[in-house]
Chain A
Amino acid sequence: MTSNAEITVERTKGDEALLKVKDISLSFSQYTSGLRKTEIKVISNLSMEAYSGEVLAVVGSSGSGKSLLAHAILGILPSNAKLSGKMEYKGQELTQERKEKLRGNEIALIPQSVNYLDPLMRISDQVIGNVEKKSEKLMKELQRDIFHKYDLKSDVDRMFPHELSGGMARRVLVSTALMNSSKLVIADEPTPGLDEKNLNETLSYFRDMANKGCAVILITHDIEAALKISDKIAIFYAGTILEEANIEDFKNDGENLRHPYTRALWNALPQNKFQAIKGHQPMQDEVIDGCFFYERCSIRDEHCSKGTPQLKMINEGLVRCNNVS
């Protein structure tokens, strides 16, 4: 990657990234019509970095494989998944064994919905998790403290997941990440179906975590929500990240945005121009040689249809486009 050098240049002013994802690709092998095996590529050449004390939002449309990115970082992909590329955590390579050691410990996942809780286990047992007997009491106290902080009353402890209201479920799920000394928190679509008040409250939990020194990766389809609390926004499209922009770039009518897709997204928002662009994301089984956004791009040239554009550092943000300078 040509951009590696540039990335390091930029980061010298801050600390080293807690998590570095370099050029990962993820594909599934699937049997279609009889014994024909096909590869479905869901993530291709994706790179991103998460820093302690920052919220990085990964924004993309629903069903585009964002959750799988989270699963890939945690190492909980299904067995027919093929992952390539490199990940680094605290400067060391993040291997599958290391993922298994770190998850639930330093790396925490905040799942989408109450479906991610065991339907037959009481909430407190669930939030505490599988701990050794001697530390059980301590963990119980910690759990109570966290629940207290999130305004979850003591009767919630003994409830089953189906008894929780939507807002309570959200807080319970968030509190699972606080039980351990998490340094990297990955929140997977934590905001759908929340009203304005609950949404802001939930988002503030993540901001809090980042302020306390965690690196937060917020995976969402809701760009407005992401804009409220994030430091950086990575635009996820067709299995890769097209642009990683700083939050300031979205100000002034989005003039500083680099990629045409990000601009299109920005213009599609109701409070802006409320204009959608034509077309749809390429399907996952389509083989694309050039830029993933080629079909819908307004500034494309023949150069764009051949070869994936390299990641470029422009104006302190990363972009994968040939025609931006």
Chain B
Amino acid sequence: MRLREFKPSVTIFFWKLYSADVLRKYDLKFNGRAKMKHRKFGIFIGKKIIRLLILLMVVCIASFWLIEQSPIDPVRAYIGEMSIQPEQRALLEEYWGVNTPSHEKFFNWAKNLLNGDFGVSLIYRMPVTHVIKERFTASLILMASSWLLSGVVGFILGIIAGMNSGSLIDKAIKTYCYVLIATPTFWLALILLLVFSVYLGWFPVGLSVPIGLTAEEVTLFDRIQHLILPTLTLSVLGVAQIAMFTREKLIEVLSSDYVLFAKARGEKGLDLVLRHGVRNVALPAITLQFLGFSELFGGAVLVEQVFSYPGIGQATVAAGLRSDVPLLLGIVLVSTVFVFLGNLIADIIYEFIDPRIKQQEATQ
């Protein structure tokens, strides 16, 4: 069996594909063409950056307007449940600028944003950038591990189902995926929590580190143990999607003319699927997985809430419920960039790594 080409991770494989291609073009005195390619990439990225700026502007205006329309009282958010005198309230109102006209408020906020000042979080009492940095790092580990897990497991399940389409194992995987798609994330989180943490006691009930320890005392094992259930929950939804997609795509590839010809040349079984199936399914599957960044973020909000995992999702819920406007707006902007990045990577894969698309553009 010739697995040689598939042993390195898929990314390395595509990188090889890409870099070898660049090298070849240099090889063949196509120096100019390779240069043109880099220029093209520059133009592509430039266009994307302009698009991102426009998107951020629109998101800023839209979310600011929404917040303005909502019955949020910054004074109430600041003092919490305390009761205060009307005079003090008036002072605070002036301090927070409750009575400033909307457009003035917006321009003040936008000006500060441009200077890198996202304001101070009302509930955490520290700069928003600081809160987001800390929370986002925690979430990133959670999201990255579940993203990888769902991608790998989903892809493998999809390949198995597609290879044996119509068989019992295919039906089992399909049923499993349908059930997963229909399952609400928070409900699944609760069930996992009940079974594994409460009844079996294998995993902690919540948080990202054990309670009552200083930061130095927390071991890597502790962190991993706290990460397992949230990761599992968060990856489950992604598994179903990528598995169904991979299955569909593989069936399509296996009924293609080039697989028929490969069969006519004596290739068969797993070898055939690895040589032609995986090769042709991997690219679209990875693209899809990058496009799933938005769902990943949405899922993180729910999962972190159930597991009291101190990540960006939990901070979002807290900021929303407790009227922490600066933090909420900050998170909205950061998540916009995050999802945009996912789409951008998908676009890059699509336009610059797939040799077919590259060629089409070259001939245009």
Given that A100-B268, A129-B267, A130-B275 are known contacts, is A117 also in contact with B261, CB under 8 Å in the complex? yes
* Chain B residue with Cβ nearest A158: B24
Binary B-proximity of A88-128 (CB < 8 A = 1, otherwise 0)? 00000000000010011100110101011111110000000
CA distance A238 to B219 in the complex (A): 77
Give the chain A neighbours of B359 by CB distance below 8 A.
Answer: 160, 162-163
Query: Is B263 an interface residue when CB atoms closer than 8 A count as contact?
Result: yes
Give the chain A neighbours of B280 by CB distance below 8 A.
Answer: 118-120
CB-contact partner of A118 in B262, B263, B268, B354, under 8 A: B262
Query: Is A299 an interface residue when CB atoms closer than 8 A count as contact?
Result: no
Cβ contact within 8 Å between A109 and B276:
no
29 contacts between A and B (CB under 8 A): A71-B260, A74-B264, A76-B264, A100-B266, A104-B266, A104-B267, A111-B261, A115-B257, A115-B258, A116-B258, A117-B258, A117-B261, A118-B258, A118-B262, A118-B275, A118-B276, A118-B279, A118-B280, A120-B279, A120-B356, A121-B275, A130-B262, A130-B275, A131-B2, A155-B28, A158-B20, A158-B24, A160-B359, A162-B359
Cβ contact within 8 Å between B276 and A116:
no
A-B pairs with lowest CB-CB distance, top 6: A104-B266, A104-B265, A116-B261, A109-B264, A115-B257, A118-B258
Q: Shortest Cβ distance from A165 into chain B, in angstroms?
A: 12
Q: Shortest Cβ distance from B165 into chain A, in angstroms?
A: 11
Give the chain B neighbours of A129 by CB distance below 8 A.
Answer: 265-267
Give the chain A neighbours of B258 by CB distance below 8 A.
Answer: 115-119
* Chain A residue with Cβ nearest B264: A109
B contact residues vs A (CB 8 Å cutoff): 2, 4, 20, 24, 28, 256-258, 260-268, 271-272, 275-276, 279-280, 283, 354-356, 359
CA distance A104 to B264 in the complex (A): 6
CA distance A131 to B267 in the complex (A): 10
The binding surface of chain B is classed by DSSP as helix
A contact residues vs B (CB 8 Å cutoff): 71, 74, 76, 100, 103-105, 108-109, 111, 113, 115-121, 129-133, 155, 158, 160, 162-163, 176
Give the chain B neighbours of A176 by CB distance below 8 A.
Answer: 265
Cβ contact within 8 Å between B265 and A121:
no
CA distance A119 to B283 in the complex (A): 12
Beyond the given pairs A111-B257, A130-B271, 20 more chain A to chain B contacts, judged by CB atoms under 8 angstroms and listed by A's residue number, are A76-B263, A76-B264, A103-B263, A103-B264, A103-B266, A104-B266, A108-B264, A116-B258, A118-B276, A118-B279, A120-B354, A120-B355, A121-B279, A130-B2, A130-B265, A155-B24, A155-B28, A158-B24, A160-B355, A160-B359
CA distance A100 to B264 in the complex (A): 8
Cβ contact within 8 Å between A130 and B4:
no
CA distance A121 to B274 in the complex (A): 12
* Chain A residue with Cβ nearest B166: A79
* Chain A residue with Cβ nearest B28: A155
Give the chain A neighbours of B272 by CB distance below 8 A.
Answer: 130
The residue in A108, A133, A158 that gathers the most chain B C-beta atoms within 10 A of its C-beta is A158
Cβ contact within 8 Å between B264 and A121:
no
CA distance A119 to B280 in the complex (A): 8
CA distance A75 to B117 in the complex (A): 70
CB-contact partner of A160 in B266, B268, B271, B356, under 8 A: B356
Q: Shortest Cβ distance from B283 into chain A, in angstroms?
A: 8
* Chain B residue with Cβ nearest A136: B2
Give the chain B neighbours of A133 by CB distance below 8 A.
Answer: 2, 4
Cβ contact within 8 Å between A109 and B271:
no
The residue in A116, A158, A163 that gathers the most chain B C-beta atoms within 10 A of its C-beta is A116
CA distance A109 to B359 in the complex (A): 28
CA distance A76 to B266 in the complex (A): 10
CA distance A218 to B261 in the complex (A): 17
Give the chain B neighbours of A111 by CB distance below 8 A.
Answer: 257, 261, 264
CA distance A117 to B2 in the complex (A): 19
Give the chain B neighbours of A100 by CB distance below 8 A.
Answer: 266, 268
Q: Shortest Cβ distance from B225 into chain A, in angstroms?
A: 41
Q: Shortest Cβ distance from B13 into chain A, in angstroms?
A: 11
CB-contact partner of A116 in B260, B271, B355, under 8 A: B260
Q: Shortest Cβ distance from B121 into chain A, in angstroms?
A: 49
CA distance A115 to B258 in the complex (A): 6
Give the chain B neighbours of A132 by CB distance below 8 A.
Answer: 2
Cβ contact within 8 Å between A109 and B261:
yes
* Chain B residue with Cβ nearest A176: B265
Give the chain B neighbours of A130 by CB distance below 8 A.
Answer: 2, 262, 265-267, 271-272, 275
Give the chain A neighbours of B275 by CB distance below 8 A.
Answer: 118, 121, 130
The residue in A113, A119, A158, A163 that gathers the most chain B C-beta atoms within 10 A of its C-beta is A119
* Chain A residue with Cβ nearest B262: A118
Given that A116-B257, A117-B258, A118-B258 are known contacts, is A109 also in contact with B279, CB under 8 Å in the complex? no
Give the chain B neighbours of A116 by CB distance below 8 A.
Answer: 257-258, 260-261
CA distance A76 to B263 in the complex (A): 7
Q: Shortest Cβ distance from A203 into chain B, in angstroms?
A: 21
Give the chain A neighbours of B2 by CB distance below 8 A.
Answer: 130-133
CA distance A6 to B354 in the complex (A): 58
* Chain B residue with Cβ nearest A120: B279
CA distance A103 to B261 in the complex (A): 10
Q: Shortest Cβ distance from A104 into chain B, in angstroms?
A: 3
Cβ contact within 8 Å between B356 and A162:
yes
Cβ contact within 8 Å between B265 and A103:
yes
